[in-house]
Amino acid sequence: MKNVGQYRIEEFPISRLSTIDIGQVGLKKHHIKALIELDVTEPRKLIREKKKLSQKITFNAWLIKCISHAVEEFKPMHGIKKGKRKVIIFDDIDISIAIEREVDGKKVPLPYLMRKTNEKSIAEISAEIKNGQQHSIEGEEDYVLGQEKKNKLVMKTYYYLPAFIRRLIWKGIINSPLLTKQNMGTVMITSVGMMGKINGWVIPVGVHPLCFAIGSIVKKPGIVNDKIEVREYLYVTVLVDHDIIDGAPAVRALAKLTKLVESGYGLS
């Protein structure tokens, strides 16, 4: 074709197919969206002090622990509907996060499922994330749903199925609380703020009953003890399944999370 200039053709990442499928299925979820700001000035200061003492913890790991504790107190937040009249509420909190993994020599963001985060310390969560980032895998076709070491033929078959069949598979998974918990966990956290500074919120699409999009940390004026100070604020978007929980208990749960984060839960 004329006048199109130079261009190159790249291979479409096969892992994006499951992302597209999740997006299509997730659009049908009845999520309430909450856009909140959290003052993380003091927690960040405490984490820096702990790092000086060679305590190997990260901000993201601490935030995962805060979310785990809040969900543990308000367990219906991560409940999953079973049929038309029942809800399964799990004791264990399994959280799906995105971490950069090396795939065939390239850094690729892939889902990683952390089990029983409510029982793990901040240091243990930090170590698990670091270990996951350092562990390279061969071929994206061997990786789906945050799971590895699955049957290679099954994975390849999944990726080459027609889109409508793949989405029927996803629909079957999210309609089964046990399959959802086993393969995806019940809480999803995506930390888009790690990739660059955005002065605002990111609204994700997800299939989990409870989803968090962690944005950037920005400095701006805040009021502390009736005085204006420069504070650090974290943008967080929360998606809550309205089929499972009403607005009032959801607000109470988010108020608890706000208190945990802004007080530096587990750091002092």
Which one has a higher pLDDT value, 176 or 158? 176
Domain boundaries, the chain: 17-262
Q: pLDDT value at position 91?
A: 94
Q: Predicted confidence band at 174 (pLDDT cuts at 50, 70, 90)? A: confident
Q: pLDDT value at position 156?
A: 72
% residues pLDDT > 70 (the chain): 87
Q: Predicted confidence band at 126 (pLDDT cuts at 50, 70, 90)? A: very high
Q: pLDDT value at position 9?
A: 84
Q: What's the whole-model pTM score?
A: 0.84
Taking 80 as the threshold, does the pLDDT of residue 66 lie above it?
yes
Q: pLDDT value at position 239?
A: 95
Q: Decide which of 3.30.559.10, 3.40.50.2000, 3.20.20.70, 3.40.630.30 is the CATH code for 17-262.
A: 3.30.559.10
Which one has a higher pLDDT value, 109 or 37? 37
pLDDT in tens, 15-33: 677 777 777 777 778 899 9
- DSSP-assigned states of every residue in the chain: -TT-------PPPTTHHHHHHHHHHHTTS-EEEEEEEEE-HHHHHHHHHHHHTT----HHHHHHHHHHHHHHHSGGGG-EEETTTEEE--SS--EEEEEEEEETTEEEEEEEEEP-GGGS-HHHHHHHHHHHHH--BS-GGG-BTTB-S--HHHHHHHHHS-HHHHHHHHHHHHT-HHHHHHHH-SEEEEEGGGGS--SS------SSSEEEEEEEEEEEEEEETTEEEEEEEEEEEEEEETTT--HHHHHHHHHHHHHHHHTTTTT-
